[in-house]
Amino acid sequence: MTLLVLALATAGCTDSDSRTYAVPDGVCGVAVDSDLLSPFLPDGQKLTQRAYNSGQESPRCRLSVDGKLVVYLSGDVVPAETDPIKVQDRALVRLGNPASVGIGGSARVADNGAMAVAACTYEGSRRKFVALVQLQEKVPAKTSERRDALRSFLGAYFSKAMAKQGCEQAS
């Protein structure tokens, strides 16, 4: 009898520590392979996506699992002379050990987030598009795996998010 109770209790814990929601093939209207998004999503029952604008040129996306924010994404169209990497230097440092990667015109991947920037044409004007990904959970648990997953995700997400925003890649 004791073994049966222990087995049921263990099974109950395992079920609550599993992912019961489907990982989508995109975030807030930007198509991205679910395998690239999956590493950032913890176990839980329900995934919620919330897209909103922080201004006409500033879409935002929040991914929550069981009501808790796990991934925050932003995209901004900024003046061509702005250097978002320089402007956000302290924020990138707070995300942990930012390092340059070859995405867009300039990009950094940190322990808990990533940013990429590229020149573009927006509504007929020279501008830049900047995308930021911030992780609110340390998922995956190993920092090296998290950084690799961020690099892969940002590499697939960035150009699609820029196109969705109406920023055409500068030649």
pLDDT computed for residue 17 by the predictor: 66
pLDDT at 55: 80
The pLDDT value recorded for residue 4 is: 35
- pLDDT (0 to 100) of residue 152: 98
Q: Could you give the CA distance from residue 105 to residue 119 in angstroms, rounded to a whole number? A: 7
Domain boundaries, the chain: 22-169
pLDDT at residue number 169:
86
For the record, the structure tokens of 5 come out as 């109770």
Segment-wise mean pLDDT, segments of 10 residues, the chain, 171 residues? 36 60 95 97 97 88 97 96 94 96 96 97 96 96 97 97 92 65
The confidence score (pLDDT) of residue 170 equals 73
Q: Which two tokens stand for residue 47?
A: 């995934």
Q: How far is CA 107 from CA 11, 65, 92, 101, 170, in A?
A: 44, 27, 11, 5, 16
pLDDT value for 97: 96
CA–CA separation, 92 and 115 (whole Å): 8
